[in-house]
Chains A and B, each alone.
Chain A
Amino acid sequence: MMRVRSCLAGAAGLVLAVTLSGCGPSEPATSGSPPVVQRLTEAQYRQSIADIFAPDIKVGGRFEPGTRKGGLLAVGGSVVAVSASGFEQYDVMGRTIANQVVDAKHREALAPCKPADPKKPDAACARQTLAKYGRLLFRRPVGEKELASPLALANRAAEADGDFYAGLAFGLAQFLDSPNFIFRKDVAEADPSDSSKQRLSAYSKATRLSFFLWNTTPDNELIRAAEAGELDSRAGIAKQVDRMLASPRLETGVRAFFTDFLGFDKFDSLAKDSLIYPVFTTKVSRDAEEQTLRTLVDQLLVQKADYRDVFTSRKTFLTRNLGIVYKVPVGLESGWEAHEFPADDPHVGLLTELSFTELHAHPGRSSSTLRGKAVREILLCQKVPDPPANVNFTVVQDTSNPQFKTARERLTAHRTQATCAGCHKIMDPIGLALENFDGAGQYRSQENGAAIDPSGELDGAKFKDAAELGQALHDNPSAAACLANSVYRYGAGREFDPGEKDWQKYLLDQFARNGYRLPDLLKFIATSDAFYAVRPAGDVKEAGL
């Protein structure tokens, strides 16, 4: 069913029309995709617990590493399971959380009722409490059948331990150990307007929307809207989307997106050789990550700038720790100070920020190949083929001059050997432009006494240094397309469905039309039909599982 956006088409409104979000051609229909089952990320798990119970509830335990699919952990979340050791940890976490919820410090505020006698079971109060939290943890109402087991357990345990609250904790733990909490599973139902089709349940829509914009479980207002049937209408969804976009919680969601998109989970294991790069410390590493996220939030949410400008902007935020690495003064003793690099300073845009140069480098050396690969795969969404089969490195090594001074010289073979050049020519020139930034992100004009030449070419656009590379990236259509595609896939938790090809083009058009602004992109996606469209999985077996 085509969706026609209302549009002020009259002459008087033409100027306005062009600027109205979504005005223009209509949204192409899609057939949706099968429901997804996504494992919560660590951040989502923690935030959900904080929002459902209380921010001071400690989540003690270790989360399994996620998997990237199509470059995103969010998409990988739809293909990962839970290993035995991983589940052991969820079980520990579930018990730890449940015990805190019922402890003396929290039970007043968190339990909706009091037991008649705290030393005995109280079925009614246990039911009330479990029903409340079951609904919040499972992100949908919990039926009698689902309530029966934890309730029986809570009562039995209360009897055995002589303690209502201890019993209650076991009941809660069952919810926390359930895949209904640890995973968010799309639920599809028959579409009342067309019985041959399916639609996502209101709760599934609420869940998808909430994790997309705020990276957490649906709040009370969103749940209320779902229960009242408001999310079945476009207007109802739009109202919630506007509310959520206007909230300070949007920043959490945007940070979560960029943390995934830019591969910041690598910061967890980032280490540098302390002899070669004494400036690098864990503090610098954390500040580097925060610098980029803070800068992006400011540019894209506060300034509402064109996304492509992230590659050309000289404005950022720094701490004193970072000042040491960037070799610039930072007045503020602690905290973040706005900083603008001067017009001809080599620090321009995202590619020259530490979060990029440090992350995509070796512990003791920079790497043009890793950085070039990162630009291609992360920022342009272009797959670089795997390294080739049996490379005979004896041919490659120039043994008469083992000590090449600069990376450009060392990588000559990458460019001149046929088996290597195919892939390396799409990576190395980009990375070589960033060779002025060593493995810890510090600027240098030479390496081993030889001047660094940062010139190169990106898909036909020539550049003479990193600043011009930033401009080339800005101008490259794949950059904006990659962001729009990634935001969609992140929110949907899956790759594009073949039936979404036209819609994908429409998405990119809209992004461009709206000046490549992120809030508009988020709104567009969150209020689209495609985002919620669902169709049955092809190979569902209903009986005899």
Chain B
Amino acid sequence: MIGIDTRSMMLRRSLMSAAVLTAGMFAATSHVAVAGTASAAPTDPANVKARTLGFAVTYLPYALAKNADDCPDGLAMAAKDIFLASVSAAERARLTKAENLKEFEQLAYHTKDGRDLCAVPDYPREPQRTPKGKVSYGMNLDGTTDGAATANSCAHEKFTGPNGEPAVDNQTYRVIGCSSNFRGFPGEEGYLESLRNAAFKDGGMTLLIEVMGVKDGRNDENVTVGVYNGASPMAIDPNGHMLPYASLTMTDDKKYQTVAKGKIVDGVVTTEPTDMRIHYDIGGYTRVWNIRSARVRLEMKPDGSAKGLLAGYMDADDLDMTKGGVKQASAEMVGYDCPTYTQAIHRYADGFKDAKTGQCTALSTAFEINAIPAFVIHPEDAKKTASAAPAAH
């Protein structure tokens, strides 16, 4: 049965010890919430009814390690900074005066022959300042231990994960890791990150995760994991926080429904590589991320919430703002110097080598998943006609 089967709670209870039953049992109905504390071994698996666990993502930032030693030369520069660094002090003083703004913008955001910088991706630039630290979040996507080129991937340097995980791929981190708009400042989230994640609250982004066919919430060799955009906005409480246990309809657009095989080990769900597509709306624009060979690692907690990682290869074009036809003056607002970024994206691309050009077209990346318990409602259940209003006769 698709969706939450509340009747299966009955069977689930029979698996639990009494202590578990009283401890937060219905604090998280039908969720693996209690699975984390289950001590009894399951009875014959054939008799156990499978259930579905649902989650709604509340926060999906890039998983950025923000090591202290990442950016010794300073944070990545935007066009303005690059330009000002190239002129004399006197010119700097003159051009930063309010009355010279037009001239400044013309000089800073355009080539010498007047073309907008975003239209000239190979405009000569110093390479993007990139994290020097050795640690990054992410997963081993290409299967190698050393990042050497393979048939489908390009040579690149690997990271070590924060918990010592070896051979982590995260080339996106190299591109954005020293940019203040992604990395932020101590105690302050990156501006672009906060913009995008605000979409969860304002209805621009709902992302739902379903773990289906679960017979044992702690260890299960065979589950199915769905990742879908949601058609319903998140439920928000009077203080502005997202509410758990909301019933949220998933999208009926198959492009944004991803289903992958997976398993659960010690309460952590992992999935097999599957291509994924996610959209989000921000400031009236719909952006789409194509994440190829995506995989999920999700730790399900006793209180029904979940935390983990979404890793995969992000299409270079999705990272590249110039593909959207933006002008440098606009890109500037998020600290994005078009030529620097485009060049960095190509320099660091490590996945899905183009057969013809030999260029890699995607970058390994990782997102942090933060999720609260939710009921994922499938479109056919949401569109049923309402139960007839009780007519007295």
Interface residues of A (CB under 8 A from B): 246-248, 250-251, 254, 274-275, 278-281, 294, 297-298, 301-302, 317, 320-321, 323-324, 327-333, 335-338, 341-346, 443-446, 451
Q: In the bound complex, do residue A333 and residue B238 qualify as a contact, i.e. CB atoms below 8 Å apart?
A: no
B377 within 8 A of A: yes
**How far, in whole Å, are A335 and B386 apart by their CA atoms in the complex?**
6
Any A CB within 8 A of the CB of B28: yes
Q: How far is the CA of A300 from the CA of B170 in the complex (A)?
A: 63
Inter-chain contacts of B382 with A (CB < 8 A): 331-333
Is the Cβ of B29 less than 8 Å from the Cβ of A328? yes
Q: Which residue of A lies closest to B378 (CB)?
A: A331
Option from B21, B30, B247 in Cβ contact (under 8 Å) with A331: B247
Which B residues are closer than 8 A to A by beta carbons? 3-4, 6-7, 9-10, 13, 21-30, 232, 235, 237-239, 241, 243-247, 249, 375, 377, 381-382, 384, 386-387, 389-393
Q: How far apart are B324's CB and chain A's nearest CB, in angstroms?
A: 32
Interface centre among B23, B27, B377, B390 (most CB of A within 10 A): B390
The distance in angstroms between the C-alpha atoms of A329 and B382, with both chains bound, is 11
Chain A residues with Cβ below 8 Å from B28 are 327
A317 and chain B: residue at smallest CB distance? B387
- Whether A342 lies near B7 (C-beta < 8 A) is yes
B384: chain A residues at CB < 8 Å are 331-332, 337
List 19 other contacts, CB 8 Å, given A302-B393, A323-B246, A331-B381: A248-B391, A251-B392, A274-B237, A275-B239, A294-B389, A302-B390, A320-B235, A323-B375, A324-B244, A324-B246, A327-B245, A331-B384, A333-B232, A335-B386, A337-B386, A342-B10, A443-B26, A444-B27, A445-B21
A327 to B244 Cα, complex, angstroms: 8
B375 to chain A, nearest CB (A): 3
In the complex, residue of chain B having the shortest beta-carbon distance to the beta carbon of A250: B392
Contact pick for B247, options A275, A329, A335, A443, CB 8 Å: A329
Task: Give 16 A-B contacts (CB < 8 Å), ordered by A residue.
Answer: A248-B391, A274-B237, A274-B239, A278-B238, A294-B389, A297-B390, A297-B392, A301-B390, A324-B246, A324-B247, A327-B28, A328-B245, A329-B3, A333-B249, A343-B10, A445-B24
Q: How long is the Cα–Cα vector from A302 to B390 in the complex, in angstroms?
A: 7
Do residues A278 and B243 form an inter-chain contact, with CB atoms below 8 A? Answer: yes
CA distance A400 to B6 in the complex (A): 44
B25, B239, B393: most-surrounded residue (chain A CB, <10 A): B393
A341 nearest in chain B by CB position: B6
Q: B237 contacts which of A281, A330, A443 (Cβ < 8 Å)?
A: A281
Contact B239 A329 (CB under 8 A): no
Q: Bound complex: CA of A320 vs CA of B235, how far in Å?
A: 10
A337–B385 CA distance with the chains assembled, in angstroms: 9
In the bound complex, residues from chain B placing their C-beta under 8 Å from that of A247 are 392-393
The DSSP consensus for interface residues of chain B is loop
* Chain A residues with CB below 8 A from B6, complex form: 328-329, 341-342, 345
CA distance in complex: A444, B249 (Å): 26
Q: A278-B239, A336-B387 are in contact. Are A320 and B246 (CB under 8 A)?
A: yes
Distance between Cα atoms of A329 and B26 in the complex (Å) = 13
Q: Are B375 and A246 in contact (CB under 8 A)?
A: no
In the bound assembly, the distance between CA atoms of A488 and B25 in angstroms comes to: 43
Q: Which residues of A contact B22 (CB under 8 A)?
A: 445-446, 451
**B245–A323 contact, CB under 8 A?**
yes
- State the CA gap A87–B252 with chains docked (Å): 56
Quote the shortest CB–CB distance from B38 to chain A (angstroms): 15
Complex contacts, A338 vs chain B, CB 8 Å: 387
Q: Is the CB of A344 within 8 A of B391?
A: no
Contact of B377 among A279, A281, A301, A329 (CB under 8 A): A329
CA distance A426 to B335 in the complex (A): 69
Report A62 CB to chain B, min CB distance, Å.
26
CB proximity of B74 to chain A, nearest CB, Å: 42
**Considering the chains assembled together, what is the distance between the CA atoms of A38 and B240 in angstroms?**
46
Q: Are A336 and B238 in contact, CB atoms less than 8 angstroms apart?
A: no
Least Cβ distance of A475 to chain B in Å?
26
Contact B9 A330 (CB under 8 A): no
Q: How far is the CB of B355 from chain A (nearest CB, A)?
A: 46
Q: How far is the CB of A147 from chain B (nearest CB, A)?
A: 38
Which residue of chain A is the closest to B304 with respect to CB atoms?
A327
- Nearest opposing residue in chain A for B387, CB measure: A338
Say whether B3 contacts A346, CB under 8 Å. no
Closest to A318 in B: B247
B13 and A324 form a contact (CB under 8 A): no
Q: Which residues of B contact A281 (CB under 8 A)?
A: 237-238
Across the A-B interface, the 8 shortest Cβ-Cβ residue pairs: A329-B375, A331-B381, A278-B237, A298-B390, A335-B386, A338-B387, A329-B4, A327-B245
Q: How far is the CB of B22 from chain A (nearest CB, A)?
A: 5
Residue numbers in A under 8 Å from B238 (CB-CB): 274, 278, 280-281
Residues from chain A with Cβ under 8 Å of B235 in the complex: 320-321, 324
The smallest C-beta distance from A68 to any residue of chain B, in angstroms, reads 27
